[in-house]
């Protein structure tokens, strides 16, 4: 029998009992930020469940204002909690059906305020989409040199800025920086503000300094995933990135969705990743299916539009490099990952023009502007534009989704 909750959940909801993502929430009635789990249009207060001794043992960490202590407990505890929640939310005899307990534990989603789910220590962004890397390479180097010589041999990445990671709904101020159209630098508000359609994954349990995480064990260290928009100022990036890569062009804001979808919830949607040729070195070689079939969508709404317009549809299954390969490569030097560290996949572009994951590609560096209602067009993002990203895996009669990550562009500060 398919898993089913006694709580009514619409078939197209992102949050059926098969999902049960974790987040940090507060309410007007109780402003203390704490751990919750989403099901349908409800948030289950796990701190209250713990206090009411609804688990087999008391954990204590659900009253925390971040998921970090829960994440550090390891996969055995993650699965233990998940199975307890499935039991409580699916049983016909669940104590959560008791009206008094239900009113204390179950919070309508419209009453909650969501917060950053994790205290993020370090953030690394990768460049794992072959389609994206090829498109960008063609624009700047031509077809013959689209991919750099190392790209097919290792997951390229750079260290991002954790302090400017913001939750969905936070406004993004247009950055100012140094650009040089013809080699002459000037200090301006970015004219080429862009989004990047990505997914982020959180490290649950880390590794000791000097002890790499093997490709075989990498999965055990990953707690879950969120949608990620790595806002980018392309004109600032073009002038600054040589020879060391992105810096100010990407350090001003990175938006993530509030609900962390666990790897256990995503496991049924494993698929084969693209074939890798040449075969990677042994420390990056994995036999099992390590792609994920996650449908992704980007919509754009200008200040004058009454509803958002879809401008891109992509899928994580297109990624050339897997999360496990990214993590194994990141730590092969002995770099120590810590609970709460976040890695981004890099822009997830598909093989068709309508599946590109950035304005840079969708408009082909501004040469093919996107048409919006009422005659508006976009080469890059303008002030007042709101970018909304969504993602979900489609099951048989249900979907496991991420909700959405949104951000509105505000004018640069004077």
By annotation, the residues acting in catalysis are 132
Residues 6+ apart with CB under 8 A from 254: 123, 160, 161, 164, 165, 166, 228, 229, 230, 231, 344
Residues 6+ apart with CB under 8 A from 63: 32, 34, 35, 47, 50, 51
Q: Give the separation between CA 280 and CA 146, rounded to whole angstroms.
A: 19
Report the SS3 class of residue 236: helix
Which strands form 172-173's sheet, in the order they lie side by side? 172-173, 399-410, 386-394, 295-301, 309-315
Longest dimension (CA), the chain: 72
Nearest to 231 by CA among 247, 253, 246: 253
Nearest to 299 by CA among 385, 199, 171: 385
Report the phi/psi class of residue 12: left, alpha or beta, with left for phi > 0 and alpha for psi in -120 to 50.
alpha
Name residue, tokens 């949104």: 406
Residues 6+ apart with CB under 8 A from 267: none
Q: CA torsion 118→124→129→130, rounded to 10°?
A: -170
Q: Give the separation between CA 149 and CA 168, rounded to whole angstroms.
A: 36
Q: Which helix (H) or strand (E) holds 265?
A: helix 263-266
Q: Give the separation between CA 101 and CA 23, rounded to whole angstroms.
A: 21
Q: Give the separation between CA 159 and CA 123, rounded to whole angstroms.
A: 6
Name residue, tokens 């302090």: 163
């Amino acid at each position: 029998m398919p898993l089913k909750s006694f709580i009514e959940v619409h078939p197209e909801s992102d949050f059926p009992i098969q999902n049960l993502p974790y987040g940090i929430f507060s309410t007007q009635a109780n402003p203390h930020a704490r751990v919750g789990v989403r099901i349908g249009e409800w948030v289950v207060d796990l701190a209250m469940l713990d206090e009411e001794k609804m688990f087999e043992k008391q954990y204590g960490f659900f009253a925390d204002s971040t998921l970090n202590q829960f994440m550090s407990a390891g996969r055995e505890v993650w699965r233990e909690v998940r199975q307890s929640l499935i039991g409580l939310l699916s049983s016909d005899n669940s104590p959560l059906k008791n009206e008094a307990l239900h009113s204390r534990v179950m919070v309508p989603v419209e009453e909650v305020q969501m917060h950053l789910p994790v205290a993020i220590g370090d953030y690394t962004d990768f460049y794992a989409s072959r389609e994206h890397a090829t498109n960008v390479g063609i624009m700047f180097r031509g077809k013959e040199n689209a991919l750099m010589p190392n790209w097919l041999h290792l997951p390229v990445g750079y260290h991002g800025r954790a302090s400017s990671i913001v939750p969905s709904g936070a406004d993004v101020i247009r950055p100012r920086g140094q650009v040089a159209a013809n080699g002459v630098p000037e200090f301006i508000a970015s004219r080429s503000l862009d989004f990047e359609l990505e997914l982020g994954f959180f490290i649950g349990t880390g590794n000791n300094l000097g002890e790499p995480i093997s490709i075989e064990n990498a999965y055990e260290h990953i707690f879950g995933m969120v949608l990620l928009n790595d806002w980018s100022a392309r004109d600032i990036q073009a002038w600054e990135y040589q020879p060391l890569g992105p810096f100010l062009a990407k350090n001003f804001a990175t938006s993530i969705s509030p609900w962390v979808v666990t790897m256990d919830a995503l496991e049924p949607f494993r698929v084969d990743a693209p074939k890798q040729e040449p075969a990677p070195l042994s420390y990056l070689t994995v036999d099992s299916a390590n792609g994920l079939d996650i449908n992704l969508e980007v919509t754009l709404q200008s200040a004058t539009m009454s509803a958002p317009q879809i401008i891109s549809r992509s899928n994580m299954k297109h990624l050339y490099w897997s999360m496990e390969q990214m993590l194994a490569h990141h730590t092969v030097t002995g770099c120590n990952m810590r609970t709460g560290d976040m890695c981004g996949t890099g822009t997830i572009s598909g093989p068709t023009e309508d599946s590109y994951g950035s304005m840079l590609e969708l408009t082909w560096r501004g040469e093919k502007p996107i048409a919006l209602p009422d005659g508006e067009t976009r080469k890059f993002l303008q002030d007042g534009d709101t970018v909304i990203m969504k993602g979900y895996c489609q099951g048989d009669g249900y979907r496991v989704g991420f909700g959405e990550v949104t951000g509105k562009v505000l004018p640069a500060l004077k």
